[in-house]
Amino acid sequence: MKGVVLAGGLGTRLLPLTRITNKHLLPVFDRPMIYYPLQTLINAGITDILLVTGGHHAGDFLRLLGNGREFGLAHLNYTYQEGEGGIAAALALAEHFADGQKLCVILGDNIIEGSIAPAVARFEGQGAGARIILKEVPDAERFGVAELGDGRVVSIEEKPPRPKSRYAVTGIYMYDARVFDVVRSLRPSGRGELEITDVNNWYLAREELRCEILDGWWTDAGTMESLHRAGNLVAKTGSNKVDGPTTYLPEEDPVRRRGGRGRASQVPA
């Protein structure tokens, strides 16, 4: 399986900081933001990674990350997204890189406490289809929201005013090679973008979408508030802990899995 980190966008919610560099290169506690999603993939055993970036500071990534050998990567590849066409449009740029293999895709500002290795392993054995990672949050109306039934996703809505559940769709997705045909079939949404929710709904309509629930905290770092929060969380507990919280299937009991320690903190992106 290969990995894709989506690190484009103009970072307008982080102005004036993003006038001098890409938002994904801003510091989160003791390292650049982009280190965290890269480590998430590496900890899941994915070492062939593509970085999709854009904007006026794309060269800064190459100066920082080089060929990826510092991270123990087999390959670190780069591609450039012109403009802003949505998450699905950025993903489309990975088709040549994917070369028919499955992908694990992560947004460049997503940071987690633990590991997604169990989810990646289950997806590798899944066969065709897609797998998304969910997190229970108090303000689900801010996100894509998944409704669950009998341990499966039954619907996904983008930022619904009255969410049917508290399960937000995090910025971590896994797809088979058909995802690029799916993206080509999409039409722009009302905001003129190709939406990743539409990609997920394509798999859902064919009963090929599976889900995992993330234990431990999850946050993004795309606003001033969340950037500050992310730094505090990393400073307090650390991130990408191999022996920390992982993912579990909806029908599992996370408290029992953790030996009765109680539910971990729930921090929305």
pTM for the full predicted model: 0.91
Distance CA 1, CA 134 (A): 21
- Of 255 and 226, the one with more pLDDT: 226
Going by C-alpha positions, the residue among 179, 188, 213 that lies closest to residue 100 is: 179
CB 52 within 8 A of CB 94: yes
First-residue to last-residue Cα distance in the chain: 26
pLDDT of residue 4 exceeding 70: yes
Q: How confident is the model at residue 10 (pLDDT cuts 50, 70, 90)?
A: confident
Distance CA 50, CA 6 (A): 8
Distance, C-alpha 131 to centroid of its chain:
12
| Torsion angle, alpha carbons of 268, 220, 92, 48, to 10 | -120
What is each CA distance from 267 to 46, 105, 218, 226, 240, in whole angstroms? Answer: 26, 21, 6, 10, 15
CB 138 within 8 A of CB 166: yes
Distance, C-alpha 247 to centroid of its chain:
14
pLDDT tens digit string along 240-267?
Answer: 999 989 999 987 755 545 544 333 333 4
What pLDDT, on a 0 to 100 scale, did the predictor assign at position 39?
A: 97
Q: Report DSSP state, residue 169.
A: E
pLDDT tens digit string along 22-67?
Answer: 999 999 999 999 999 999 999 999 999 999 998 888 899 999 999 9
pLDDT averaged over every residue in the chain = 90
Distance CA 50, CA 143 (A): 25
What pLDDT, on a 0 to 100 scale, did the predictor assign at position 138?
A: 87
The C-alpha R_g of the chain, in whole angstroms, comes to 17
What pLDDT, on a 0 to 100 scale, did the predictor assign at position 265?
A: 39
Distance CA 112, CA 37 (A): 8
Q: How confident is the model at residue 83 (pLDDT cuts 50, 70, 90)?
A: confident
Q: How confident is the model at residue 120 (pLDDT cuts 50, 70, 90)?
A: very high
Residue 45 CB partners (closer than 8 Å, separation 6+): 1, 117, 120
Q: Which domains does the chain have, with CATH numbers?
A: 2-257 (3.90.550.10)
What pLDDT, on a 0 to 100 scale, did the predictor assign at position 142?
A: 85
What pLDDT, on a 0 to 100 scale, did the predictor assign at position 259?
A: 44
